[in-house]
């Protein structure tokens, strides 16, 4: 959750400071892979925590859902 908040705050900071639309667009597109990576990491951590509490859950269940 902290990573998502950091990405949003950085995005707003850059949007306020950048004057040209091309630069803002490029920065927005560069933040997209970072946000996706953050989402995948959070999903992996949540799946690992779920596997600790329920041994019927397998890594494939985490990838599918």
How far apart (Å, rounded) are the C-alpha atoms in residues 52 and 56?
Answer: 10
Inter-residue contact 43 to 63 (CB < 8 Å): no
Predicted local confidence at residue 23, as pLDDT: 77
Question: What digits encode the pLDDT tens for the residues 5-20?
Answer: 877 787 777 777 777 7
Predicted local confidence at residue 65, as pLDDT: 60
Number of domains in the chain: 1
User: Residue 49 belongs to what domain range?
Assistant: 2-64
57: confidence class by pLDDT, cuts 50, 70, 90: confident
The verdict on pTM exceeding 0.85 is no
The mean pLDDT value for 38-63 works out to: 77
Residue 36 has pLDDT above 80, yes or no: yes
């Amino acid at each position: 959750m902290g990573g998502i908040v950091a990405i949003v705050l950085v995005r707003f900071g850059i949007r306020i400071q950048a004057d040209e639309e091309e630069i803002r667009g490029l920065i927005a597109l560069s933040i997209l892979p970072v946000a996706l990576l953050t989402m995948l990491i959070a999903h992996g951590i949540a799946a690992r925590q779920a596997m600790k509490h329920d041994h019927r859950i397998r890594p494939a269940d985490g990838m599918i859902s």
